[in-house]
Structure 1
């Protein structure tokens, strides 16, 4: 066999879960350049071995297709990891304080201490109470300490005394008060953020370094392709340059804001699919229609619990949404519309059915789409409109949703089984850094629908392990119009592979959530190895 037919990389002595009907399970896979050239038995793949082939024996480890995050804010992650303690999976206040303390010891003396989590809720913690200023005083009393999640910031006593302006709130916004002291507890809901002026801790990084660091974090978790939703124009240009230079550790699907796509100068520089590169592609154009369920502002048909006049709001009128979407579609871009409330979803889905069927510019999709009615599900399927969903929110937001909506409505949140039964193409994602970008706990959440507080939100909507995995592989690739090159392991597809520390086809949801990635391969190159924690430069084989 000639050198030009030799593989550059062979993974062998493995359990390869291909998600391809032609060869569902194999024990070896070969990659030449950035493409898979062979999948099968060791003897079959051995035919592609040459003198320069790198052969890695995996001792029976599981290999799966590179995972896909269909909705995130990728470029924010690198800076976050450099400047914050990560508190996403804390199950006790004691653990949260310990992580913040370790972070304090890593940053310069006197620098403010920041932490980021998904949703701090009393029922999530072993102590069964909310974090307060006194807890954060254990981290530092001589500088600000602040932790932030999807709908609040909690600060220490130093920040209460030096970084808070309660006068900025006016009379209509209240904050929790400690009955013992008469002072704020330290928790400031999103509506009170104007009062919180905690200085940031910064780490000098170039934009290129931020993007490389961000994609490296996704690669550590086995995510080889991630959507960056609405990055600024400068970030888009930097992504394209880093992609061409082979500097990214994971592929990025750029989802530009619709307002950018409406600009003729942007369209002269970029086009949907016409401007794709080695490690980047362009996805649909995005618009936010309504607001946020965790802020009590998603556009709903029924009011929020205990707030009878509040049914949420939109960022723009429906008429303006129609005009913007029609303009973008006319210029050759599919649509991605952010909708979180049931009323907003119904309105946006109706617009997209009228506008985007047939999907001549590629598959359009709704983003988040938490509360679909049966009519909406039927309409999405008939119009070939998909949905980018975040199953991890079931676990980390579920208890707060019970507080905001009541148990009955909370159980209708993200009815994944109903989506699949209706034939809607679903792609899983994280919305990182709103929640963590590790997809394995999110897959487990899709299987159990169990909140961190132990409540199950309608078990009938739970997915099988195979369907949960497909959310981040085959159907995610289809949602983004990349099914011909990503999502499964087969000859001709891109060489994006992930090696795991366990057989996820045979483990419980709890074991699945604890899965660790031991190696990540992007475009045929090993970009991450867990053995020594090393991230390798993707341009080096």
Structure 2
């Protein structure tokens, strides 16, 4: 009797099967799923004439990386926009705007993202007058790296109907100094710009998704959650994902959160019958996505205690309590999972209360709803215990500690910063903390994220809250299984056990055999999705 042969076998390396499942030398895939793992000799019989064999040569293979919170469409679209991420001189950023304006048509929008005013030599945001000087005939909008604020020039402000007499919007702020607009718009004030931005066509949005997927595959990702489909262009963004899927353009698996609340399109989603969990292994509907506050780096995350040096600044709350409570109760009662952006402890308090009110006294049966707190950055022990009691999952970003940790020390102090994004506490509490980038807020680079999870060091080498560090096994677990758990998919992905989807990331080295600092130099050689090689670094270089 002949033995069925595998479609794909990886052998001759270290294969990480998942937390607590150990390691092996080989893994075999047939029909898009894992059918066996073991030693090279044990899997030899599964290799036939049509089996594709990948020699790992000592490299590490692991369950496919899953970025559980990344604005993938924005990442893809951003590849053709002004990238201010690495700018340390304000003049360099302005020069990029000037060069873009020189090739733009009069009236064409110029959009950029990624600057951090704390990293700029001037230690401030650009002023609208400075943008006016380099782009007098084009509306310009530059978003800070956090995405919760940005600066517009005068043409853009006029297009949005914003002047010195404009009333402050609910949940947002329009900055003025000495009675004049600076161009800085925070939180929901940005919606006034978004409403007048030139719309992308559905084809262009779909191209953004395709580009974002290719970018992620090259980093080793096999799954991504887009946490706020509709942030810029509403329902059109959902259509773009659907179009690309119909055209067979998907290379990795997507989990999509419809933007909900006052600025989203929840009524349309409900009219369409879109429900959490709908879809398939390639494209699945996620939770309704809400926002409660801003960013710690931008000093708009809602905190109980003020930011250092700003005794009146407690951050910005997007919704009044009852309004948020009503949204959450409505979505919960309709059967949706709910995911809510909350970074500061005051915002986390608000959304936890909303979840508790929605669940009510029926914790035993309702705690399996897996409502989420996206980011969940600065919380206290009582809030952690409440999350544990009602089964609320955190979706934190350790890479924030790597990129912004030194800034947290400046604006919040050492004691608060040491407890930020507490992966160890989350994991020990059984809360399945998923790893993610929140790109384009932070880099999509998974190796910076892994490094931060296991060292708690910033990009400047500052150690912050070392007691919250994980082992590498645990960090990879957060980057695979916990992400799957957050989307109710742990039964089909997140490990390399038999029967799981054949989603595998192959690194260029054995991450377990090197010093943590060398992880920052690592890369992904292969991204395998459903047994198909979606990215091959060697082939790309040929």
TM-score range, shorter chain: 0.7 to 0.9
Distance 1:451 1:311, change over 3 A: same
The count of corresponding residues between Structure 1 and Structure 2 is 512
Q: Which runs of 5+ in 2 are unaligned?
A: 167-173
- Deviation, 1:257, is 2.8
CA offsets, 1:170-207, max 9 Å, x none? 8994679xxxxxxx9x996859989999x999999533
Q: Within the alignment, does 1:337 sit opposite 2:344 as a pair?
A: no
- Deviation, 1:392, is 0.7
Of residues 295, 300, 306, the one that matches 1:297 is 300
SS of the residue corresponding to residue 377 of structure 2 reads coil
Q: Within the alignment, does 1:384 sit opposite 2:391 as a pair?
A: yes
Q: Which runs of 5+ in 1 are unaligned?
A: 177-183, 536-541
Asked if the contact 1:246/1:279 (under 8 Å) is kept, the reply is: no
- Deviation, 1:226, is 0.9
What's the counterpart of residue 114 of structure 2?
117
SS of the residue corresponding to residue 512 of structure 2 reads coil
What's the counterpart of residue 523 of structure 1?
530
Taking the aligned partners of 1:267 and 1:201, their CA distance within structure 2 comes to 24
- Deviation, 1:27, is 1.6
Taking the aligned partners of 1:202 and 1:320, their CA distance within structure 2 comes to 31
509-518 vs 519-528, greater mean Cα deviation: 509-518
Matches within 5 A, 1:129-144: none
Asked if the contact 1:35/1:524 (under 8 Å) is kept, the reply is: yes
Matches within 5 A, 1:488-507: 488-507=495-514
What's the counterpart of residue 11 of structure 1?
10
What's the counterpart of residue 409 of structure 2?
402
What's the counterpart of residue 180 of structure 1?
none
CA offsets, 1:251-287, max 9 Å, x none? 11011234478537635432222x2124111222211
Distance 1:452 1:503, change over 3 A: same
SS of the residue corresponding to residue 328 of structure 2 reads helix
Q: Within the alignment, does 1:271 sit opposite 2:270 as a pair?
A: no
Asked if the contact 1:112/1:201 (under 8 Å) is kept, the reply is: no
Distance 1:425 1:350, change over 3 A: farther
- Deviation, 1:393, is 0.7
Taking the aligned partners of 1:516 and 1:343, their CA distance within structure 2 comes to 38
- Deviation, 1:46, is 2.5
Could you tell me the TM-score, scaled by structure 2's length?
0.80
Asked if the contact 2:202/2:237 (under 8 Å) is kept, the reply is: no
Matches within 5 A, 1:45-444: 45-85=43-83, 88=85, 90=86, 116-117=113-114, 119-122=116-119, 148-149=143-144, 150=146, 168=163, 173=175, 190=186, 206-232=204-230, 233-243=235-245, 245-259=247-261, 263=267, 266-273=270-277, 275-356=278-359, 357=363, 358-359=365-366, 362-444=369-451
- Deviation, 1:391, is 0.8
Taking the aligned partners of 1:120 and 1:320, their CA distance within structure 2 comes to 33
Asked if the contact 2:423/2:453 (under 8 Å) is kept, the reply is: yes
SS of the residue corresponding to residue 327 of structure 1 reads helix
Of residues 488, 494, 505, the one that matches 1:487 is 494
Asked if the contact 1:31/1:38 (under 8 Å) is kept, the reply is: yes
Of residues 39, 42, 47, the one that matches 2:40 is 42
Asked if the contact 1:291/1:297 (under 8 Å) is kept, the reply is: yes
SS of the residue corresponding to residue 230 of structure 1 reads strand
Asked if the contact 1:82/1:203 (under 8 Å) is kept, the reply is: no
Taking the aligned partners of 1:196 and 1:239, their CA distance within structure 2 comes to 24
Taking the aligned partners of 2:376 and 2:287, their CA distance within structure 1 comes to 16
Distance 1:495 1:243, change over 3 A: farther
- Deviation, 1:342, is 0.6
Q: Supply the RMSD in Å over aligned alpha carbons.
A: 4.1
Taking the aligned partners of 1:79 and 1:116, their CA distance within structure 2 comes to 11
CA offsets, 1:283-307, max 9 Å, x none? 2221112333333222221222222
SS of the residue corresponding to residue 505 of structure 1 reads helix
SS of the residue corresponding to residue 511 of structure 2 reads coil
Taking the aligned partners of 1:250 and 1:35, their CA distance within structure 2 comes to 15
278-287 vs 348-357, greater mean Cα deviation: 348-357
What's the counterpart of residue 469 of structure 2?
462
387-396 vs 456-465, greater mean Cα deviation: 456-465
Asked if the contact 1:240/1:277 (under 8 Å) is kept, the reply is: no
